[in-house]
Structures are given as C-alpha cells and as structure tokens.
Amino acid sequence: MKRGIIALMVIGTLLSLSICAGASEMKGSVEVKLDTGELPVTNGAVTLYLVGVPTEGGYRLLDRYGGGVVRSEDAGSGNLAYWLSELSDGGKELLLDVDGRVVFSGVEPGLYLLEQTRRMDGFYPFRAFLAEMPAGGQWIQRFEPMVVPITDEPPCTGDVGTYLAVLSMALSGGGLVCCGIWGRKRKKF
C-alpha cells in the first residue's frame, strides 16, 4: 500500500513538472530595439502593459481598458494604441541598454501596449504601439520603432513634395490671372 502511494506521488510530481514545463513553453519574448545610429543610449525605459487576452478572432480588452473585443487586424491601429496609453496602468518597466535594446521575456499570449515611459537623452520618445503575442508556441516578437534625435532646428512638418505642389498651384493660378488680364479686349468709347 505504501509503495502504491509513493508511486502515485512520484507520478503526480512528474506530471506536474511536465505541465509546468509545457506552460513555460507557451510563453514568449518581446524585444524592442531602437536605432540610434552611432549614439549610445543613456537613460530611457520601455513599459509593457497587458491590455487584452486572446479570444476568438481577436483580443478581449481588460476591464480597465473598457472591455470589448479588438479584432486581430485592428491591433495595429495607432489611434487605438494612443487611446489605450491614456488608460495604461500597472505595466512592467525595463531600462534600455546602451544599444537601445530591451527584452521582455516570459510573456503570456495576449495583446500588449508598449510605451516609452522614460525619454532617452537626445531623442524624442517613440509612439506607443500594440504588440500581439500569439498563442501556441514560444514566440519572439521584434519591434524597431522610429526614434527622432532632438536638434536645435525644429522638426520638418512636411515633405518637399507638398511644398512643390503648393508652389506649382500658386504659379498656375498666377498664370491664369495674367492670361485673363492680357486676353481682355479693350472697349472703345
């Protein structure tokens, strides 16, 4: 009888260890790498927030984020990430290393918000974005959000194509006005 009980305890222990090992295989990693060129990163931190859990066809948002379901194809929305960042609370913050890299490991399947919570010296913070950690296997999700260095010059708010389009419209309008003036016939009194 004692041997049977001991055998059951050993089998139960082995079974629970294999379940724990299987559960750890279901976790993944999220890596954020900022391209700062040759400049080393000083200061700066990124925070990972769980905002939704997997459901059929997408993710069910946690109650503090308003509940509801976000479809997988809508998870890349910058507006949704901004809205969720206004409600973010209780995330896991990690400091960036000198290469501008941070790795969150042991991440369960779900929808996550990544936000730069401490600004790096010499760079504007990157925009908050959403990351999906799919179920079924160990995943490594890699992201390279764009960072812009802070300079003495104000950042360019438009591209050259926009400026050229406005200039060409102004010149065309001026040309039409000139044609209208020169093309009028003078009336005789």
The pLDDT tens digits for 37-64 are: 887 788 889 999 999 999 988 999 999 8
* CA torsion through residues 73, 78, 83, 88, sign: positive
Structure tokens at 90: 């209780």
When pLDDT is averaged across residues 76-95 and rounded to a whole number, the result is 88
Dihedral in degrees, nearest 10, Cα atoms 130, 135, 140, 146: -10
Report which residue type is found at 32.
Answer: V
Percent of the chain with pLDDT over 90: 25
How many angstroms separate the CA atoms of 151 and 17, rounded? 55
Structure tokens at 119: 């600004």
pLDDT higher than threshold 80 for residue 156: no
Nearest to 79 by CA among 91, 70, 68: 70
Q: What is the pLDDT of residue 42?
A: 82
Q: What is the pLDDT of residue 166?
A: 80
Q: What is the pLDDT of residue 187?
A: 59
Q: What is the pLDDT of residue 164?
A: 77
Q: What is the pLDDT of residue 76?
A: 82
When pLDDT is averaged across residues 54-83 and rounded to a whole number, the result is 88
How many angstroms separate the CA atoms of 106 and 37, rounded? 29
Length of the chain: 189
pLDDT one-digit tens code per residue, 126-145: 899 999 988 776 778 888 88
How many angstroms separate the CA atoms of 7 and 51, rounded? 43
pLDDT grade for 182, boundaries at 50, 70 and 90: low
pLDDT higher than threshold 50 for residue 179: yes
Dihedral in degrees, nearest 10, Cα atoms 91, 35, 129, 133: -70
How many angstroms separate the CA atoms of 171 and 67, rounded? 53
pLDDT higher than threshold 50 for residue 18: no
pLDDT higher than threshold 70 for residue 185: no
Q: What is the pLDDT of residue 188?
A: 61
Structure tokens at 106: 């042991």
When pLDDT is averaged across residues 16-35 and rounded to a whole number, the result is 65
Q: Are 100 and 119 in contact (CB under 8 A)?
A: no
Domains of the chain and CATH, by start: 26-143 (2.60.40.10)
Nearest to 142 by CA among 152, 131, 128, 151: 131
